[in-house]
Chain A
Amino acid sequence: MQYLIVILDRNSVPFCSYETGGRTGGLIPIDVLQKAVNFAVRNNLSINFLYGDEPLPPEYETAIEDADHVKMVSLRHAGRYPDAVFVVDGPADKEYIHLLENNGINNVILRIGRTQIGSLASAVRGLIGKFKRLNIILKDLHGMKDEDLLLYSGQLSRVRKIMEDEYRKKNFMEINAISDRVFLTNMNNCSAGTRHMTVAPNGKFYLCPAFYYDDEENCFGSLDGALNIKNPQLLELEYAPVCQRCDAWHCKRCLYLNRKLTCELNTPSREQCVVAHLERDQSRIFIDNIGTETGLTRQVSAIPPLDYRDPFEVLSDRSLSTLEKEEHFSGLLAKPLEGVSFKDLFRQIYSIDPQIIVRLKDLNYSPVDLENEE
């Protein structure tokens, strides 16, 4: 566990795909906030504080400053907290863009709803120069139709071109949907429940804010008691049969949407997989287009083209043999290792677990049979 998310206000700024469900305000009680900070300090966790619209009383600010933290606030309140991560809620926040500094170094989250996808590229263009890293969040993934995904693909292509132009000008900013996959060699996802967890104003723990806002009964403990995540293995990549075979390593793998759409924490929806693969494809073109001139090609692996947008299609394809599936997925996952020598790989395997070499020999050698030697 690396950090704690603390919801300071019941109508705190939603920073991901969830909504707060029209909840009216209500600050976290000061004693709950102090317990949450204390919990984080004792467990060596940093805190992401989610702010609401109302200014906090001084004793709250004092408690917050006690912890190693990041503030997450709506762009509308950028003036109050200039060092925060700002959440831009689609076109509705356009009038507040001026609050972002030119040459700004803040991280910015841009939330885009299903009906706003067509304005994604122009929204990104309007933010260029005002952030170091931009996270694009699709708010209504669960309602996406094929035509919405097609529109997203077209807008992503335009965002990618904007980014290519910026890289040519040596403005090496990050936009999650394009650049994250370029620089990753393994899954790097939301990791709710493993890398972070959330404390709500009621003092209870949730996998992430979305679970709290969906149903307050979704908690797994409280600041006053023990934590008990049942079936915690299902939060891990090793127990996610689709994701562990996939190389859209930047994918959010949103556990909340998994649960909501597929009824299983460890299984992504089709929409999640398609969105991640549309982004992966733009990352691939990004490297192809500017990799050589920027020197990227020397530092990152090329991303192979795919003829599908959802690895589940391959996984569940009964016309493919197990061997064919293994060859495909292992090739994808091992792509960044292609430049490493066998000698180095075997030494590394040995250092991780010598038994893997034993098992590889079992798989590749049969007992000696001199009598039937041809």
Chain B
Amino acid sequence: MEKTIAAPPAIWQESIAKTVTFVVTEDCQLRCHYCYLVGKNSRNKMSFDIAKRTIDHLVENRDLFPDKAVVWDFIGGEPFLEVDLIDRICDYAREKMAREEHPWLHNYRFSLTTNGILYGTEKAQYFIRKNRSDLSIGVTIDGTPQKHDMHRVYPSGKGSYNDTASNIPLWIEQFPVASTKVTVASDDLPYIRESVLHLYAIGIKHISINVVFEDVWKDGDDMILEDELIGLADAMIGEGLYREHTCSFFSETIGRKRLDNNNWCGAGRMLAVDYKGDFYPCHRFTPFSLVNKKAPSIGNCFEGIDGNRLRPYLSLDLITQSPAECVTCDVATGCAWCQGANYDLADTETIYQRATYLCKMHKARVRANNYYWHRLRQGG
């Protein structure tokens, strides 16, 4: 009998869309332990004028931004803290694209990622109802109450699970194919299996999950990850969950030798703008995201993009930024890196030094992934 295996939802116009990320606030209700936004504060909020100038620059310079589609993306901090501003920006983007008769008017999307705490508020719901047909929203929930509350906490230390989970049914009702993003650090490795299964149980069908890129991994963590993923594989197959659910730890394309020389990350093809109107290759390069390095702006909404500063990002490939063992690695496909984390962790101010702290974790994932697909091919 033909086996039905669910596929993760396609990313909207992934190969042709320009993602423009507005960092509307650097504030957030939470202080998640693993969050790379180290400079959270309640001072720095985007003004409408900065957003307007950014949209004007992008829409009025088609030759510089020839992408066939656009994603107007909103991030924080917590973007729903500034939902009125976001609503106004969305209205203006639509109006500007229409006024300029820009092809993007027929190929655009609004997108935001939230911690979900304010999802059910009247203001947020008004915004969602108004923009529903052009909108995608990701809500971040990390798994079981225990795992979620280990890291996703208020400044007081109190966990945020209940405040997020209470809005999940409404979110799923409004965005049935939405997926959540789960982040895994060292101390919550033992909770991966039960957390993924918990998220499936509360109605989330697609889970994008990754281990952090930083130097946090201890001896034996790879074995814990592998054991957890083997357990998850058994549960997904044993309970037939694979028919309607996905978990990004498992993919048929990972764990092979790489035959291409492409970069993994899209930094530079994306554009992030902060509250001052400074442009960055992605939001991970903004000042409040970096611990060790000065933020490398690539222009601003007043003067536009500095083409020279963008060149290194668009020239990145596998070989010129990777250690030799990564280039020749037999299981390299699917091994991820974050350009911003690489930059922040590098020995010099460069994006051309790849951080490889998660090497053993990737290899553990590959072994569990091999097991998962082997079992599926064997008929479960």
Contact = CB atoms under 8 A, between A and B. Distances in A.
Contact of B307 (A238, A239, A270): A270
Interface in A249-275: 261-271
Contact of B315 (A230, A231, A241, A322): A241
> Most chain-B Cβ atoms within 10 A of its Cβ — which of A241, A269, A271, A316?
A241
Interface in B252-285: 260, 262
Contacts of B353: 231
Interface stretch (B36-44, B154-162, B342-350): B342-350
Interface string B303-347: 000011101101111011000000000000000000000000011
A240 interface: yes
A262 B309 contact: yes
A234 interface: yes
Contacts of B308: 261-262, 269-271
B349 A263 contact: yes
A312 interface: yes
A270 B314 CA distance: 13
Nearest to B269: A318
Contacts of A266: 312, 320, 352
A263 B350 CA distance: 8
Given A269-B308, A322-B260, A242 B350 contact: no
B138 interface: no
A315 B312 CA distance: 11
A265 B320 CA distance: 12
B352 A234 contact: yes
Nearest to A242: B315
> Most chain-A Cβ atoms within 10 A of its Cβ — which of B260, B296, B315, B352?
B315
Interface in B173-196: none
Contacts of B314: 312, 315-316
A239 B348 contact: no
Contacts of A312: 311, 314-315
Q: Is the interface of A mostly helix, strand, loop or mixed?
A: loop
Nearest to A273: B311
B348 A269 contact: no
B311 A270 contact: yes
A262 to B, nearest CB: 5
B368 interface: no
Given A262-B309, A322-B260, A315 B350 contact: no
A315 B350 CA distance: 20
Contacts of B366: none
Given A263-B309, A269-B308, A322-B260, A316 B315 contact: yes
A269 B306 CA distance: 11
> Most chain-A Cβ atoms within 10 A of its Cβ — which of B314, B346, B347, B353?
B314
B311 A231 contact: no
B225 interface: no
Given A241-B317, A270-B307, A263 B348 contact: no
Given A240-B320, A270-B307, A231 B350 contact: yes
A317 to B, nearest CB: 10
Contacts of A270: 307-308, 311
Contacts of A262: 308-309, 311-312
Q: Is the interface of B mostly helix, strand, loop or mixed?
A: loop
B141 interface: no
B272 to A, nearest CB: 16
Nearest to A142: B308
> Most chain-A Cβ atoms within 10 A of its Cβ — which of B312, B319, B348, B353?
B312
A230 B348 contact: yes
A315 B260 contact: no
Given A230-B347, A270-B308, A322-B260, A263 B315 contact: no
Interface in A293-316: 312, 315-316
Given A234-B350, A322-B260, A264 B312 contact: yes
A241 B316 contact: yes
A322 B318 CA distance: 14
Contact of A264 (B260, B262, B319, B352): B352
Nearest to A322: B260
A264 B320 contact: no
B67 to A, nearest CB: 9
Nearest to B317: A241
Contacts of B311: 242, 262, 267-270, 312, 316
Contacts of B349: 263
Interface string B345-366: 0111111110000000000000
Contacts of A271: 308
Contacts of B351: 264
A309 B347 CA distance: 33
Contacts of B350: 231, 234, 264-265
B354 to A, nearest CB: 11
A231 B296 contact: no
Nearest to A311: B315
B268 to A, nearest CB: 9
A319 to B, nearest CB: 9
Contacts of A231: 346-348, 350, 352-353
A267 B347 CA distance: 18
Nearest to B347: A230
A286 B135 CA distance: 59
Contacts of A241: 315-317, 320
Contacts of A263: 296, 309, 312, 349
B315 to A, nearest CB: 4
Nearest to A257: B308
Contacts of A264: 312, 350-352
A269 B349 CA distance: 17
A234 B307 CA distance: 21
Contacts of B347: 230-231
Contacts of B315: 241-242, 267, 312, 315-316
A241 B262 CA distance: 11
Nearest to B307: A270
A316 B353 CA distance: 20
Contacts of A242: 311, 315
Interface of A: 230-231, 234, 238-242, 261-271, 312, 315-316, 322
30 contacts: A230-B347, A230-B348, A231-B350, A231-B353, A234-B348, A234-B352, A238-B319, A239-B320, A242-B315, A261-B308, A261-B309, A262-B308, A262-B312, A263-B296, A263-B309, A263-B312, A264-B352, A265-B350, A266-B312, A266-B320, A266-B352, A267-B312, A268-B311, A269-B308, A269-B311, A270-B311, A271-B308, A312-B314, A312-B315, A316-B314
Interface of B: 260, 262, 296, 307-309, 311-312, 314-317, 319-320, 346-353
3 closest A-B pairs by CB: A264-B312, A267-B312, A241-B315
Given A242-B311, A262-B311, 4 more contacts: A231-B348, A261-B308, A263-B309, A267-B315
